[in-house]
Amino acid sequence: MSDTAQLLVAIDCPAEEAELQARRAVDSLVDGGVIASETPDAVWGRVGHAPGPAFPGAVEGDIGTRPEFWAMPDGVEVETGRSFVADPSFEMSLHCPRCVTTFDTDPDELGDAAMKWLDGDDATYYACRACGYEQPLAEWDGPHPAGFGYLALHFWNWPPLKPEIVQALSEVIGGRIRVVWAKS
Ligand SMILES: [Zn+2]
């Protein structure tokens, strides 16, 4: 079985604030019982914080109706530093704010742009495939976006977090959070 990562990417968090905001995010999740404070070497095969006692209430759906592998998800990893997260196929589905079209990315184009951004080019733009509107990579949202930033929380094999949990974290760190799904 492949692993699924639900990634919360802090797209507004500057590099110099990533460590601080990471601590704030983790403290908030620990205080709410969503994750445990300990970070054993391996939690169910993944390094990171184990699910906390309140995790069932933080995710969508009823425990009893979930697939069995979601009954106890893996750990939550915190990653700081310049990185992007995307499905390895780079086949993302984005929504253009100008022409209001939802389009599939060209994996080669998006991959090239992502590598430029990773190399330090903050002015890397990506263009809508329908109307040509360009905006910075991190701004692109849609049904299946990628995420670009300096702070990401990897929820390994977790059911979808409730929107209010994501919203609360966004308020804690003082910036937008992009939710990205990826398989590995
Ligand atoms: Zn467009």
In the reported structure, the alpha carbon of residue 79 is separated from the centroid of ligand 1 by a whole-number distance in angstroms of: 32
Task: With H, G, I as helix, E, B as strand and everything else as coil, classify residue 181.
Answer: strand
What are the contacts of 54-63 at 24+ separation with CB within 8 A?
Answer: 55/158, 58/32, 58/34, 58/161, 58/162, 58/165, 59/158, 59/159, 59/160, 59/161, 59/162, 60/159, 60/160, 60/161, 60/162, 61/159, 61/160
Whether residue 67 has pLDDT greater than 60: no
Task: Name the pairing type of β-strands 102-104 and 93-95.
Answer: antiparallel
In the reported structure, the alpha carbon of residue 78 is separated from the centroid of ligand 1 by a whole-number distance in angstroms of: 33
Query: Average pLDDT of 54-73?
Result: 72
**Helices and strands (H and E) in the chain: how many:** 4, 8
In the reported structure, the alpha carbon of residue 170 is separated from the centroid of ligand 1 by a whole-number distance in angstroms of: 27
Nearest-angstrom CA–CA distance, 135 and 125: 5
In the reported structure, the alpha carbon of residue 95 is separated from the centroid of ligand 1 by a whole-number distance in angstroms of: 8
In the reported structure, the alpha carbon of residue 94 is separated from the centroid of ligand 1 by a whole-number distance in angstroms of: 10
Q: 90 falls in which pLDDT band (50, 70, 90)?
A: confident
Q: Dump pLDDT digits (tens) for 130-180.
A: 999 999 999 999 999 999 999 999 998 889 999 999 999 999 999 999 999
Nearest-angstrom CA–CA distance, 135 and 96: 10
Tell which wins on pLDDT, 48 or 127: 127
Q: CA of 156: how far to CAs of 36, 43, 67, in Å?
A: 14, 10, 15
In the reported structure, the alpha carbon of residue 125 is separated from the centroid of ligand 1 by a whole-number distance in angstroms of: 13
- The pTM assigned to this predicted structure is 0.89
Q: What is the pLDDT of residue 2?
A: 73
In the reported structure, the alpha carbon of residue 102 is separated from the centroid of ligand 1 by a whole-number distance in angstroms of: 8
In the reported structure, the alpha carbon of residue 157 is separated from the centroid of ligand 1 by a whole-number distance in angstroms of: 33
Enumerate residues 6+ apart whose C-beta is below 8 A from 3.
Answer: 46, 74, 156, 157, 183, 184
